[in-house]
Structure formats: C-alpha cells, structure tokens
Amino acid sequence: MPSFLALRAIAVFAVLAILSWLDLRWRMPNTPSAASRRFVYRVVLLSGLLGGCYGVVMDQITCTISEDYFRVFKEIPGDGTAELRRSVASLGFAAGMIPGLLAGLGLAAAATIGTSSPHVTESSPRMTEGQTLKFLVIPVCAMLFLAIPIAWFQIQWDPTHQREVFQTSFGTSRTSRMLAVWGIHQAAYFGGVLGTLIAVGVVSRRRAPRH
C-alpha cells in the first residue's frame, strides 16, 4: 500500500507537470499571462517536490523514534527494518507531496496578487520563484514548534486512551514512543495548515500594491 501511494503521488505530479508544459507550449506562450502561469506552475511543482522530500525525512526520523507506530497505526508490513524504512519513505513522500502542492498553490496565488497593477514595477516588484518558496519555512517552523508540546500532551494525557490498549503488549517505553510519534504527526498536520495560512497571509501583504 505505501509503495502504491508513492506511485500514485508521482503519477499525479507527472500529470500536473505535463499539463503545465502543454499549457505553456501551446496557449499564448509569449504573452505576459504566460509568464505569470509559468511562475505559478514552477512554484506549485517545486513546492510539491519539497513537501514530498520533507515527508520522507520526517517519517524516517519518526521511524527511528518508533517503528511500532508505523507497524501498528499505519499498518505497514515489513520483515526487517530496511524493508520497513523503504515503505515508510514511500508513505512519507506521498503524504508530504499533496500538502506541498496545496501550499505552493496558495503561495503562488498570494505572490501574484496585484501583478496587473500599474504600480507593480515601481513599488511592488514581482517576487521570484525562489523568494516565494522561502516562505515554506513558516509551515516547517510551525510544525517543529508544535511537535514537542503535542507529543508531550499525547504521552502525559493520552486523550484517546491508546496506552491502555498497547502497554500490555509493547511495554511502557515503546508505548510512550508510539504516542510521541503520533503527537509529532498531529503537529505536522496542524502546523502545516496553520503555517501555510500564515505564509500566504505574509506573502499577500508583501505583494499588495502600494499606492
């Protein structure tokens, strides 16, 4: 299943890349609107790739903390650590790419606000792809900021009573690590959404034409 998810994510990315290329190749390729579309496509696709890579790294780190989390909560089979890590990497790429694409879409939309204004060149120049993608650091920081308190909350309070279910089979230490990883992944979801909204807001304010 994780490998299938990764292949599906790659297929989605490939389709988007091909459609973007076809649009730029055949629909008014030498107009100002084409330049704007090129900017949006690049930001969205690069953000998707970065999101996929972030998902791989995060899941490898959390797999180091608790392999049990992925075997139990994600139901990932694997006879050994190497096989498990390959499956976890596939899952992480698929899980990270889609939010990355959505974040890129939001940033690209915010970065193009007011680009048709006559004041753009003088007071609010167009942002480059690199300048726009730098704002992805905001959701990453939000994830990291929330990771420790949410993991601590899961371990200490266990609101869904998972410790009662798993402690007999896995012991106190392994169960606590499972709950910690669960908290880290919740922080990734909440922090990713919150940080993306903040990043979009910041970019929008920077891009708003100043008269």
> Which residues are CB-contacts of 18 (< 8 A; sequence separation ≥ 6)?
none
Q: What percent of the chain has pLDDT over 90?
A: 61
pLDDT tens-digit readout, 150-203: 999 999 998 888 888 899 899 999 999 999 999 999 999 999 999 999 999 999
Question: Which residues span the domain enclosing 24?
Answer: 2-207
Cα distance between residue 68 and residue 59, in whole Å: 13
Angle in degrees, CA 80, 56, 59, rounded to 5:
60
What total of structural domains would you count in the chain? Answer: 1
Cα distance between residue 102 and residue 9, in whole Å: 13
> Which residues are CB-contacts of 116 (< 8 A; sequence separation ≥ 6)?
none
The mean pLDDT of the chain is: 87
Average pLDDT value for residue range 68-96: 89
Cα distance between residue 61 and residue 56, in whole Å: 9
Decide: 153 and 44 in contact? Cβ < 8 Å. Answer: no
pLDDT tens-digit readout, 93-115: 999 999 999 999 999 999 987 65
Q: How confident is the model at residue 211 (pLDDT cuts 50, 70, 90)?
A: very low
Average pLDDT value for residue range 26-32: 68
Decide: 176 and 155 in contact? Cβ < 8 Å. Answer: yes
